[in-house]
Structure 1
């Protein structure tokens, strides 16, 4: 699970894609998938976010497996191409984006 207690289950995504496609026989579009984490900015300004890369990779692998299972997947969008204010906590410390926004909770 994440720092905020959210379960991380890429295989569950594949399972759900199969269930939904079997039930409705309609192409599916994943419109929100991503990982909120507290990123650490290194001295050189870089952010080592292998955890985010691995999260997205693991989920996309399972989407590909679902497609191999016969599920019609129209598309996939990640939650938060840029960092944004968390709607649930009204804070910036939970980062989602591929692009770092230089703001904090203050």
Structure 2
């Protein structure tokens, strides 16, 4: 599946569940929440959690959790971009051009 296909799928999936109704400000807060969950998953993988109330998980489980949280982060990014009718391809192209220009000659 390419990135445009996925962005279209996310839009349709979230709209069907009426989750698309949240304004961009609220959606950005959801994004922050998911980034926090991703940070927690990476922390668990890299340095552990040291909490007796949490079961110890293996590397495969930790990677699965990181993958899941990255998906949640991506979905929120896709929805925000779609809200403003910005394609992810356009974002990637313009960001690449910006970085190449900024670091030209280095």
Higher helix proportion, which one?
2
Higher strand proportion, which one?
1
TM-score normalised by length of structure 1: 0.32
Larger relative contact order (CA 8 Å, sep ≥ 6): 2
